[in-house]
Structure 1
Amino acid sequence: MKGANEHRKSAGARLTILQSTAVDARSLTLTLTGELDSGTVAELCEITAQALARGQHHLVLDLSQITWCDNASLHTILGIRHAVHHAGGSLTLANPATPVLHALDGSALRHVLPLTETEGQLPVAQRVPEEPGPTDDHRHT
């Protein structure tokens, strides 16, 4: 459930983060849209640190609108998870998009990071990610 505290932060043109505070004020949902990589993840770290400082120790990252995800960003999310747990909270990755699932499958973090999906969808363990198409990797690294 979302509360009145909603606003957007943008990490450049490639990642937008929508913050939604739950009614209990100890929880925060961050909806990420766009590319999640080593160049955009710093904003996520900053927002997470600010949330923890405000006492919001239960975080949900909605990853349903991520169009690109690399291993470096997953390792950063693992660090965020450790910080949140150290503060006595929890971190959940919700509704991971296909690029996130591909990155998780290419790393050793699939079973380390807590994943969930919304009602009406298959559990993550049962969902088969789509094969990447010829236009899925549109970035130049």
Structure 2
Amino acid sequence: MAPAVHLTCHHTDGPLALAAVTGDIDFDTAPSLRDRALNLLAQGHHHLILDVADVSFCDSSGLNALIGIMRCAQEQGGTLSLAAVPDRLLHLLQMTGLDTVLPTHPTATEALTAHQAQQHNPATA
């Protein structure tokens, strides 16, 4: 049995939430991740940064969950970005072309900095 996926919110600032994702994102766990992230969106945190440093595995179900979260955020005028993406997941994002629509950042701190810069200069989007 695959380890459960956990989403733990570490920081909120108005419409922004930074959450850490740990475990495997697969067929069994992707719906839970999606539900938890959509709950953050429903709470008014339309800009999500997911720190995925401790994601040990992600399959196509996991990618679909990330796409669904991104689309829901966009529908609410928000964004989804990933921080501290492990090499295996980054390679998967690159192979599928998702890296062109789903921003990634080396660290959560850099993701927060990029988000703040984007909010102060939206014309660079």
Q: TM-score range by the shorter chain?
A: 0.7 to 0.9
Aligned length: 108
Q: Deviations over 1:5-61 (max 9, x none)?
A: xxxxxxx83322211232x23211121111111211111111122112211111001
Match of 1:70? 59
| TM-score calculated relative to the size of structure 2 | 0.75
What runs of 5+ residues in structure 2 fail to find an aligned partner? 111-125
What is the root-mean-square deviation of aligned Cα atoms in Å?
2.0
| 2:16 maps to 1:27 | yes
Q: 1:94 aligns with which of 75, 83, 95?
A: 83
Kindly provide the amino acid, as one letter, of the partner of residue 66 in structure 2. I
Q: Separation in 2 of the partners of 1:27 and 1:87?
A: 13
CA distance in 1, matches of 2:4, 2:92: 18
Asked if the contact 1:33/1:65 (under 8 Å) is kept, the reply is: yes
> More helix per residue: 1 or 2?
2
Q: Which 4+ runs in 1 deviate beyond 2 A?
A: none
Report the identity percentage: 30
TM-score (norm 1): 0.68
Which letter maps to 1:48? A
Looking at structure 2, the residues matched to 14 and 51 of structure 1 have their Cα atoms a distance apart, in angstroms, of 19
Larger radius of gyration: 1
Structure 1 gap segments, 5+ residues each: 1-11, 121-141
- Given candidates 1, 5, 10, the residue that maps to 1:15 is 5
1:52 and 2:41 matched: yes
